[in-house]
Chain A
Amino acid sequence: MTEHIVITGIGLFTPCGTQPDDFWELLLHNKTVLAPLRKFSPAPFPATSPVGIIPFAAPAGQDRAIFLLQAACRTALQHASLSPHQSRGYKLGLSLGTSLGGISTVLDYWHGQANTPISQGTYQGVADSVATALGCSGPTLTFNLACASGGQAIAAAQYALQHGRADIMLAAGVDVLNPFVFHGFACLHAMAPRVVRPFDKNREGLGLGEGAGVLVLETATNARKRGASILAQLASVALSMDAVHISAPDRQGRGLARAIELCLQQAQLATEAEIAYINAHGTATRYNDMMEAKAIKLALPQIVNQVPVSSIKGAIGHTLGAAGVLEAIVALLALRHMQAPPTCGLVHPDPECRLAHIIGTPQRLQGQAVLSLNAAFGGQNVAVLLRKPS
């Protein structure tokens, strides 16, 4: 029988800082950190587009993605009661999901303004730098599934533990905001000109954010042996592809529905009713939110009208490769507190996105498991299911 994989620590770096409590309070109080862009000129796009920027600069000579990820990893290890000395005693690995990695450093080289080593700018360079700093001796892997990267990072960490390639894995996601990313989404007309309103009938697009999220994963046996407190069980991760379009979702939601169905099947849930909460991808773009509502309805017809759903993208923005892990952390906190945050920005639910939305105030939960969903450019989808520890 396959060994259970459990979560024993969380770490994050968002515009609220590195403390999970501050992050959770922001979400529960239906507040947002998104504000009009000031960091760089958004021309030719509207300066009013809300973004979520972390108000700390990376040290000179260090890529910003590395700075955010390293801080989040250290917080996560501390949260898992692993001192730097203790963690070196284990075969520690890092599985990273990122959409654009150290692109800021690469752009600096192309613009002749380099002040960090180019090795930090590659996709793998971000994970390599952090893994070396943490003294990792196990696998260091980097995945790029755009907005679904975090979910795959979790899946790969799970496999590494199940096959004995590592004793402890950090499943992480990171992405930073810069003009390249901002203008990329702006030229696709995906950005909200004012407020980010996931699932709202007046939604106008997404707001970009930046951040890092980390889960500490290990086998239940390893966690018990070292006396770690178990926050949740990683029940299952499943992936699928739409095979429809490279930058737009399958409007019928069939791809994401397949990921959800496979995820539940792999987790061997007795009934859909065990699901207490769904943390949705909820980007606030017209087609994503409609697709996601259809996918949930297709995959979970028995509970679609009851299971509480919310998105955090109106609160901290779309953090791209970090989103999958940060949102898994939200799902985990919801399971721990049996309470889920509302969707910030959602006032008038779109009838075409009919779900049991959490609006305005947090909602008490009932059930044993929580689901976190992401969908990405390239038509990749991922579903992550967490369960209360047994």
Chain B
Amino acid sequence: MKASVITGMGVISPGYRGSAKVPCGQGNCGSIDLDQFELNQRRLRFADRLTCLGLGAALYAPPFTDLAPEQIGVVLGIDYGVYLSCYEFDQGLSQADPSPGIFPYTVPNILAGQISIHLGLQGPGITVTGCWTAGLEALGCAADLLTSGAAEGILAGAVTVQGTALKVFGCTDITEGAVLFTLRRAEGPAITHWNASTRLAGENQQHFLRRHWQTLPWQSADVQSLWGNLPAEYGEQVLGLPTTDIRTHLGELLATSGPAALALALQQPGSKLITVVPPDYRRAVSLVIST
């Protein structure tokens, strides 16, 4: 069966930008200069930081040279980043000067639109929002599109940015980053399963994770390690798997936690389970990666 094979990635992180290595470093990514890519600057006049990081990572990712534009899609996970433009637009509005240039950027899917315009991609365009889980959900949705044949190639992942306007959400100490994978509909090791679950009112966190992991059709012998943003003891106690909490390496990455965990996990041999949860464990999302 043709599956969702990971063939490459584009990364912008505090310590690295490019397509060859994994994200590293914590904190701010610094200035994002897209001049090297010879873009149509007129189309980026009002582009916010979310767009610059996301578009930058998309441009670092290896291109799909052998596919037609309509066969290639974009699936992105976004957390709070779009609220930076919402805040800026609202500031203008309060001074009776709302900006028609900024308003489109208050909609999360403009980043997917900008990537499609600059890379000429005409397949499905999807934006998932979910503060911690959106990145893995985006990869899962991309896998669905590929296995169903709705696309042959997809650029999928997540983008996280910092900003003072985001303090209302309690995001004061986060790491910026954009991690986008190129996924192909092909034979080979790949994303084999994904699932998302919602915690029932009053349900214990560990019980919830146990129930969530049981919904995935895999045997414990099929998976060698767990990666994600949850305390290591959870994975070890419930699944008996060596667990890496990527926050110890990269800090709090919000929606980019899942794709960043996947990028790190791919450096290690063996099949993996990637799981991401928000701090309140209201939801859980997992991917199974076979090698």
Contact = CB atoms under 8 A, between A and B. Distances in A.
A41 to B, nearest CB: 10
Contact of A243 (B89, B116, B211): B116
A146 B93 contact: no
Main secondary structure of the interface of B (DSSP, over half): mixed
B98 interface: yes
A143 B127 contact: yes
Contact of A146 (B109, B119, B137, B169): B109
A179 B104 contact: no
Interface residues of B, number: 64
Interface stretch (B11-19, B25-33, B79-87, B229-237): B79-87
Contact of A106 (B70, B83, B128): B83
Interface of B: 43, 69-70, 73-74, 78, 80, 83, 86-87, 89-90, 93, 96, 98-100, 103-104, 106-110, 112-114, 116-117, 119-131, 133-134, 137, 141, 144, 148, 150, 165, 168-170, 195-198, 200-201, 211, 215, 280, 282-283
A255 B122 contact: yes
A379 interface: yes
B104 A140 contact: no
Contacts of A107: 90
A103 B103 CA distance: 13
A122 B130 CA distance: 8
Interface in A102-127: 103, 106-107, 109-110, 118-119, 122-124
Interface stretch (A48-56, A182-190, A269-277): A182-190
A205 to B, nearest CB: 14
A246 B196 contact: no
A163 interface: yes
With a 10 A CB-CB cut-off, give which of B107, B110, B126, B211 has the most chain A CB atoms.
Answer: B107
B283 A128 contact: yes
23 contacts: A43-B96, A100-B106, A110-B168, A118-B168, A123-B129, A124-B131, A137-B198, A139-B198, A141-B196, A143-B129, A144-B129, A156-B144, A159-B144, A180-B106, A187-B99, A239-B123, A243-B69, A246-B113, A377-B104, A377-B110, A377-B113, A379-B117, A380-B113
With a 10 A CB-CB cut-off, give which of B73, B113, B283 has the most chain A CB atoms.
Answer: B113
A270 to B, nearest CB: 20
B98 A187 contact: yes
Contacts of A156: 141, 144
Given A93-B198, A131-B198, A138-B197, A258 B122 contact: yes
A377 to B, nearest CB: 5
Interface in A183-213: 183-189
Contacts of B73: 239, 241
B196 A380 contact: no
Contact of A378 (B80, B113, B119, B283): B113
B283 A143 contact: no
Nearest to B216: A165
A348 to B, nearest CB: 29
A262 interface: yes
Interface in A355-378: 376-378
Given A132-B282, A140-B196, A183-B93, A241 B112 contact: yes
A258 B70 contact: yes
A99 B109 CA distance: 9
A241 B83 CA distance: 23
Given A139-B195, A239-B150, A242-B116, A124 B110 contact: no
A246 B115 CA distance: 10
Given A143-B129, A144-B107, A380-B112, A179 B201 contact: no
B122 to A, nearest CB: 5
Given A146-B109, A242-B116, A152 B126 contact: yes
A390 interface: no
A266 interface: yes
Nearest to B215: A165
B122 A241 contact: yes
Nearest to A248: B104
A145 interface: yes
Contacts of B165: 110
A135 interface: yes
A239 B282 CA distance: 29
A140 B122 contact: no
Q: What are the 8 tightest A-B residue pairs by CB atom distance, in nearest-first order? A: A378-B113, A123-B129, A139-B196, A239-B124, A144-B108, A241-B125, A124-B130, A241-B116
A238 B144 CA distance: 13
Nearest to B141: A156
A179 B106 CA distance: 14
Contacts of A229: none
Contacts of A246: 43, 104, 110, 113-114, 117
Given A239-B124, A242-B122, A379 B116 contact: yes
A275 B106 CA distance: 36
Given A139-B195, A184-B89, A380-B113, A144 B123 contact: no
A241 B196 contact: no
B169 A118 contact: yes
Contacts of A145: 109, 125-127
Nearest to B134: A124
A108 to B, nearest CB: 10
B195 A109 contact: no
A40 to B, nearest CB: 12
A142 interface: yes
A380 B117 CA distance: 11
A99 B110 CA distance: 11
A136 interface: yes
